[in-house]
Structures are given as structure tokens and as C-alpha cells.
Structure 1
């Protein structure tokens, strides 16, 4: 009997070692830098500053190509940055959704929402419900909210528009985006801009920064280790703040349900999810957290990058402004409406070209479920962590000629049609693509339209070269010490306020 048990143990251990060895063998056949035993490439990339991994990732991909493997200890991470390779990853049943490490880190804040949902059957139900919440009729009703908060932002920026000094306007844009997202998600008017409430913004930043730190430090992937740290304790407080806020609104709706007329006039995403009736309270908390977490700093940062680039490219700024004058006519400072946004085609080209150069999120995680051939004789092993990399893809000269040049003409309909469909992936790709990307475009257009009709962007402190040298990658791509802009009111805007 003992011999049988020993033999069974030997067989099990042999099977495990054989599986592991096969996996490692396939991994080492992939292009990538040399790796040390046990620790892999951790000495190169282990840092609580995600910027280190960001720069190393770009260097690895430049040296090894569109499929590049590194080892973070025993974890195999594969960077995928070619359109053809991305096409083979997207929608393939051998490639799962977010890897287990990403899910482990995202689940405390996003709970049972789309960003942290592991069960594919449940994810499909959630995806359908949330996608329906972002239908065009609903989005058009949100534009009044975009316009109101964008005008509050413009009034606040007047204090800085002296045409002499350069100011970091990202905090102001973050407050505006926060007001928009809270009112859109659950109708809660926290007046972050009017009250200059940086606490809510700081909580959001704490959550994003903590997530980035955990993703870049394998030791902190363990909950017990993370929550012993100072940043882990702050993260716990920040998550509780947002979850309590959302739960409070859900409880209030249970007591004071909106009438159909109220829902029609001022719909919110939360009201839609409650009325749908398929999601539990915890699932609604997860979805609202996902939308709020993904849609605040990303929109604010994107808008800031656009304004900075327009300050550097005065000819392009003038062309954007001419389009705005055509749309708004003599009443140039009126609030933006849902009818205005589709006409802002050149502004959308400018936004897309900014997204190409500075995608808010550097990568979109996946995990292999089964071995999968990705081309060129390369086989992705089971449980490999994949990262679809937007930044190096968008800067690849073979795909985007003169990649460092800012050229909105890349996004004319004919030029877009001539490119590979996966040559531009700022919002992810496939069934995991950002569900709120239309919302993001509409919100960004409304904010930029309002600012550019009120102000003329004059100059960036340090220029675009300074921005490029100081790129900082947290959860969202931004710039160390912010983007400082010099701007002034447009002449008619001064007359209007006198």
C-alpha cells in the first residue's frame, strides 16, 4: 500500500514538473531579454514606480519585436504590440480575460464589476447590461451635465488666464471630470469644483496609485502583505469612502425611487442598473466603481495633453477654433449640446492623434487558458500573462510613419480605412474594449470645446520635449510635476464678462 502511495506521489510530482518544464521551455523560446534563475528580470523592472517598467517595456519591445517575453520571478509576462499579433489574441477562446494577478488586485475596489469579473458567463451578462446603459439616447441626455460642469471649469480657469504665468491645470480638470462622473453615475452632486474638494480626487488618486504599486511589486500581490503597508491602509480608507458613497445612494433610491418622468429627464447609470433588476447591490457597487474609477483621471489627463499639444501647435489650435466658430456662430460661448458634438470632426481627429501619442492606459491584460500559436513559430504557454501594449504600437514607425510628429490628418476617414484595424487601440480591443469609450469621447469634446472657445492656449512650460522627457506612468500615463500651461482669455470672452 505504501509503495502505491509513493508511486502515485512520484507520478503527480513528475506530471507537475513536466507541465512546468514544458511551460518554461515554450516561454524561453519566445524573444526576450536574458533572465536569471528564480528571479527572472525582476532586477531590471522591480520598482514601485511603474514608470521603470514602462520604459523597460518600450526598450524590450524595440529590441525583441512585437512578441516579447520577460519573467517576473515565476510569472511569465508577454508584451504584444503588433497589429497582426493583437488580432490573433483578440476574441480567441484560448485567451482568457484579465489575468488572475490583475483580477486579484482589481477586485477590492471594482468588486464584482466588469473590470474584476472572473466568471465569463457572469461577465457576459454584466457586459450586455452595462453596454445597454451607454446607448446613444442615454449618452445624449448626459451632455447637459457635461456642459454645465465644463462652464464651471471655464469660470475657474479665468483666475489663471493671465497670459503671463504657467499653471498646472490638471487638478482643475480632475475636479470637473469627478463632478461629471458622479452626477452621471448616480446623480450625486458633490460640487467638487465649487468646493475645491480635492479629498475625493485624492482618494481616487490613492486607489489608482496603489493599484499601480501592487502591479509592479510581486510581493504586494498578497493581500496580507499589501494591507500592512502605509499605502495599503490608505487604499482601504479610499475604497471604503467610494463604496459607502455608492451604497448610500442605492439605499436612498430604495426608499425614494424616481418616477418614470424623473428618470426620463435626468437619467443616471445607477438608476438604469437598478431598474434593470438583474444585478445585486454588490454588483451595482462594482459596476459604478468601475465606471467612476476608469473615467475620471483618464479623461482629465487626456484633455490636458490635448491642450498642451495645441499650445505647441498654434496652426492646429486655430483650425480647431475655426471649426468651433462654424458650429457655434455668433453665440460662441453658449453651452455645448448633443447636436454640436457630431460636427466636431477635426477636434475628434486631434483627440485621436493625442490618444495615439499618449494613450491613458499603457496596456490591456489578458491570460492564456491553453497553448496558442501566435505566428512566426511562437507558442504562448498556458497561464502566460499577456499585456496588449498601446504605447509602443502607436509609436511604431512601420505602422505610423514619423511617429513622434503630431498630425491629426492620420485620422481622416480615408487614412483610418487604409490602416490595420488594430493599429490604434487606446481603449483596448475586442470584447474587453472599454465599454464607455463613446462617453469618453463625448465628455472630452464637451470639455475641450468649452475651454478652447473661452481661452487661447499660448505655451507649455518646458515645451513638448519637456513633457516627453518627464513622462510618468502610474495607473494612467501623465507627466512628473504636471503640465504647466500659459493661456489667456479670447477677446470676445473678455467682452462677454465685462
Structure 2
């Protein structure tokens, strides 16, 4: 009698491997099922819009996400669960009391989307947690003191004027159309490179010749692409893709560039302790982090320097560029407010282009317009936390440790329970009397609590300087044929850019 195929020498290992793999699959299926049941139980007291059994809310919110989010904010008070597939859920919150409860704690940041940025920036303030984050925050906070920021105004004026010179050369007639974000993004990168490294860049004129500038711009595009590609969220798939290979090459450019500048600056300081700072009228960010390392050599390494400098540049320029671009678009849509800002700026600067630190504090109406634009179009539309311990909201509803909570800043800023006619551009919402009556956690463009944005004053200075100089030289109107199409990722962008018509003011 012939033996069965299972008894043959070659078949038994295959059979055992098959059984082992099947057991692993079943075990994983059981774990996923239990995870889903646990999430359903944890979120049962939060009503949610209908979900697809496989896609969750992905298809429902895929198109016109911001408009649909506004509908959900109005329909579901305070919060709603958002499912991403059948086994992953986040609780979206957009109520000031909920925001205060969450941001008053020191929970860890959620991995998404910081996991995509970390390979570029390293472990800096943006993605550190726990004692290491607290240490870095404490050491770097003096670097954003107003006395450090004041001299940056002159640097910003130079960079904004470079952009305005480009715009004037583009004027074939009295009018011209521009995609504003591209130009403003290069301008804010120019500012940050000068304020971080004191580097005289030519990135606004020829961004393709500077390896570091080119790497920064291309890395931002790859990160944005990866966020939109679900399969490439997995490191193995991404690392073997063409984008992954290019990402590694660009990362090396970033690392070597920053490393060379850091080592050159250290050598210069060792040769002559006073030589480096005497050549400049201001301390750049590298000066600050090197002085931090000198005082804390055991706990602040060269890798920490690299991480914080690149975090400052990569996380800073795109968000500020978005804030300026959306503000210009809001003023283009509302010419009466644009003209009032222009008149205020003319009254302060007397038609000159020289801006000093003291001028910035006098721009009261312009500041109200800036804040209203940040409300309507927050550069960071959401932030997320992974709960370290259980959380209970003011209405008694709770969440367990391990849950991911997303504070929708967009939803908070468009919540009709807080803001009357939230889609209307109304700068008077931010008059002193109106601001005093509002919940302190109703307006959070820079977050709040212990992990608020360390660079918010630096960003506001850039916005004021850019707005003052742009409005002195140009009148802006929207391009009716190319309205922006909102795209919400880690930074609020337009899929087709922000197109404006420029008219030179005589």
C-alpha cells in the first residue's frame, strides 16, 4: 500500500507550515475582532454618522471633507467617532471645554502624521514626548523671547522685498495672475534659513540650484504624497518604492548640509568666541541651540541640535506660508477689509517700506484680520493625542487610555455653537471687547496648554511684515476661474494652489 502524500518527506514540512500560517491568520483575526469590539464599547456613548463595514468613514469624508466636517460639527455636539477602516477609530472633538480638558494634559502625540516627518526632522519638539520633550522645551523657550525675535524683523523685510521684486518683474501689464502659495512658501523658507543659519540663500530666485532648498521642497511633496497613499503608510512598502529611495537620498542631503553648518559654526566659535556674533546684528537659531548644548553637554547632543534645527525649518516654513496665503485670499475676497488694512499700514509707515518692531504693535485692525483668517483657515487643521491615562470630559463622558483623540481646529473654528455665521469673514470678532467674552479655548490656531506652538510669536511677526509690505505695493483680487480646492492633511493646503490677481499700486 502506497503512503499518503502527508507521509512523504517533502510534504510534511509544507503541511506544518500551512497549519502554522493558518493559526497565525486566525489569531490575528481574533485580535482584530476583539479590537473592534473594544472600540465599539469605548465609543458607544458618542453618536456617529453611518459607517461602511470596511471603509468606515473614509469614502464619506473623502470628497469635500471640510464642508462635510462642518455638517457633522453642527449635527453632533462636542464630538463624534471617525472610523478609518473596520479596526481603527479616532474621537474627533471641537468643543472648547473638550479642547481645554485634552490640552491641559501631557498625553503623547499620535504617531500619525508625525511618523512621516520624523525621518526628516529627527526627534525634535514636534515629535518628542515625556521628560525629553519637557527638557528641550525648557531649554529652547528663551530662544523665542521677544528680545531675540526683534532683530529678525529686518531679515524678514529683506526676504519679503525679494518676493515683491519678483512680482513686479512679472507684471507684463498693470495686472498679473500668480499662484501665491508657491512664491510665499519660498519666501518663508528664505526667512527661516537666514534666521536658523544666517545663510545668504538665493532660493527665491533659483530654488533648483541650492541642494538643501531643493531637498526641503521635494521632501515636503513626498511626505504629502505618502499621507495620501494608504499602502505607503507601511514603512516596508514605502522604503522599496521609488519615492522611498528618493526620500532616503534627500534625507542624506539634509543631514550632511546641517551637519556641515553645525561643525563649521562650532569651529568658528572655538577659533574666536566673539568673531561669529560680531558679524551679525542678531543671534540665529543655531547660535541659540549651540549655547544650550554648551550649558547642557551631557543631555543635549549633536543629534539633538540637528533635530531641532531641521524641525524649526521643515515644520515652520510651510505652516507660515499657508497662513499668509490664506490671509491674502481672504482679503482678496473682502476688498473693504483689505483697503482698511492698507490705510492702517499707510498711516503707520507713512507710505514707506521700512518696518520696525514698534510698528508691528500698532497694526490693530490688521492683526484682527490675521486672526480672523487663522480662524477661517487654520494652517494646522487638527492635532491629535494618544491618551496616556483615562480621560473624562466635562459632560461626564469618558475615554480609556490608549484611545486616539483628534482636536479638529477646523471644526472648533467653524462651530456654529461658538461663532455666529462662522463662514463669514468678520475681523471684529477679535476686537478686545468680543475677545474678552469668548471661551479661551475657542480660538486655537497655535494650539494651547503645555504643548502650544513655541514659534507662534515668530510666525505672527512674519505674517505682519509680509502683509504690510504686500498691501503697500499691491492690490489683490481672487482669480474667479481658479478658486482654491481645500485639501486637509497635516497642513491646510489647496489642491490647485491659491491663485490671485495682482494690481500694482502707483
TM surpasses 0.5: yes
> Would the aligned equivalents of 2:70 and 2:415 in 1 still touch at CA under 8 Å?
no
> Would the aligned equivalents of 2:483 and 2:499 in 1 still touch at CA under 8 Å?
no
**Superposed displacement of residue 206, structure 1:** 3.8
What CA deviation, in whole Å up to 9, does each residue of 1:416-456 have, x standing for no partner? Answer: 11101111111112111111000000011111111111222
**Superposed displacement of residue 106, structure 1:** 3.2
What CA deviation, in whole Å up to 9, does each residue of 1:133-166 have, x standing for no partner? Answer: 1111110011110011111111111123433332
Q: Structure 1 residues 164, 38: closer, same or farther in 2, change over 3 A?
A: closer
Determine the C-alpha separation between the residues in 2 that align with 1:235 and 1:362. 25
> Would the aligned equivalents of 2:121 and 2:310 in 1 still touch at CA under 8 Å?
yes
Match of 1:6? none
What CA deviation, in whole Å up to 9, does each residue of 1:266-300 have, x standing for no partner? Answer: 31111110111132111111111111112212222
Of 363, 370, 373, which residue of structure 2 is paired with 1:351? 370
Q: Structure 1 residues 397, 43: closer, same or farther in 2, change over 3 A?
A: closer
What CA deviation, in whole Å up to 9, does each residue of 1:300-347 have, x standing for no partner? Answer: 222222222222322212211111122112xx2332121211111211
Q: What SS does structure 1 have at the residue aligned with 2:195?
A: helix
> Would the aligned equivalents of 2:110 and 2:384 in 1 still touch at CA under 8 Å?
yes
> Would the aligned equivalents of 1:367 and 1:384 in 2 still touch at CA under 8 Å?
yes
Is 1:460 the counterpart of 2:478 in the alignment? yes
- Higher alpha-carbon deviation: 141-150 or 296-305: 296-305
Determine the C-alpha separation between the residues in 2 that align with 1:21 and 1:308. 45
Match of 1:479? 494
Is 1:287 the counterpart of 2:308 in the alignment? yes
Question: What aligned pairs does 1:366-405 form with structure 2 within 5 A after superposition?
Answer: 366-405=385-424
Is 1:266 the counterpart of 2:276 in the alignment? no
Of 68, 78, 82, which residue of structure 2 is paired with 1:66? 78
Determine the C-alpha separation between the residues in 1 that align with 2:332 and 2:383. 30
> Would the aligned equivalents of 1:209 and 1:474 in 2 still touch at CA under 8 Å?
no
Determine the C-alpha separation between the residues in 2 that align with 1:305 and 1:17. 43
**Superposed displacement of residue 377, structure 1:** 3.9
Determine the C-alpha separation between the residues in 2 that align with 1:54 and 1:198. 37
Determine the C-alpha separation between the residues in 2 that align with 1:245 and 1:130. 22
**Superposed displacement of residue 358, structure 1:** 0.7
Higher alpha-carbon Rg = 2
Match of 2:124? 113
What CA deviation, in whole Å up to 9, does each residue of 1:383-415 have, x standing for no partner? Answer: 111111111211122211111111111111111
Q: Structure 1 residues 359, 261: closer, same or farther in 2, change over 3 A?
A: same
Determine the C-alpha separation between the residues in 1 that align with 2:487 and 2:37. 37
Determine the C-alpha separation between the residues in 2 that align with 1:306 and 1:351. 6
Determine the C-alpha separation between the residues in 2 that align with 1:358 and 1:460. 16
Determine the C-alpha separation between the residues in 1 that align with 2:70 and 2:243. 28
> Would the aligned equivalents of 1:208 and 1:474 in 2 still touch at CA under 8 Å?
no
Is 1:430 the counterpart of 2:452 in the alignment? no
Of 129, 144, 155, which residue of structure 1 is paired with 2:165? 155
Match of 1:194? 205
> Would the aligned equivalents of 1:357 and 1:404 in 2 still touch at CA under 8 Å?
yes
What CA deviation, in whole Å up to 9, does each residue of 1:12-58 have, x standing for no partner? Answer: xx99998985554112332223445576445546x7xxx76655544
> Would the aligned equivalents of 1:101 and 1:221 in 2 still touch at CA under 8 Å?
no
> Would the aligned equivalents of 1:31 and 1:68 in 2 still touch at CA under 8 Å?
yes
Q: Structure 1 residues 53, 403: closer, same or farther in 2, change over 3 A?
A: closer
Match of 1:364? 383
CA RMSD of aligned residues (A): 2.8
Determine the C-alpha separation between the residues in 1 that align with 2:452 and 2:417. 24
> Would the aligned equivalents of 2:188 and 2:321 in 1 still touch at CA under 8 Å?
yes
Determine the C-alpha separation between the residues in 2 that align with 1:281 and 1:174. 28
Determine the C-alpha separation between the residues in 2 that align with 1:297 and 1:39. 31
Question: What aligned pairs does 1:24-103 form with structure 2 within 5 A after superposition?
Answer: 24-35=40-51, 40-44=56-60, 54=66, 57-73=69-85, 74-92=87-105, 96-103=107-114
User: How many equivalent residue pairs?
Assistant: 466
Match of 1:128? 138
Q: What SS does structure 2 have at the residue aligned with 1:114?
A: coil
**Superposed displacement of residue 62, structure 1:** 3.8
> Would the aligned equivalents of 1:27 and 1:381 in 2 still touch at CA under 8 Å?
no
Q: TM-score, normalised to structure 2's length? A: 0.84
Of 328, 332, 354, which residue of structure 1 is paired with 2:349? 328
> Would the aligned equivalents of 1:353 and 1:411 in 2 still touch at CA under 8 Å?
yes
Is 1:211 the counterpart of 2:211 in the alignment? no
Question: What aligned pairs does 1:407-418 form with structure 2 within 5 A after superposition?
Answer: 407-418=426-437
Q: Structure 1 residues 222, 418: closer, same or farther in 2, change over 3 A?
A: same
Determine the C-alpha separation between the residues in 2 that align with 1:19 and 1:195. 51
Match of 1:495? none
Q: TM-score, normalised to structure 1's length? A: 0.86
Of 127, 140, 150, which residue of structure 2 is paired with 1:140? 150
Match of 2:466? 447
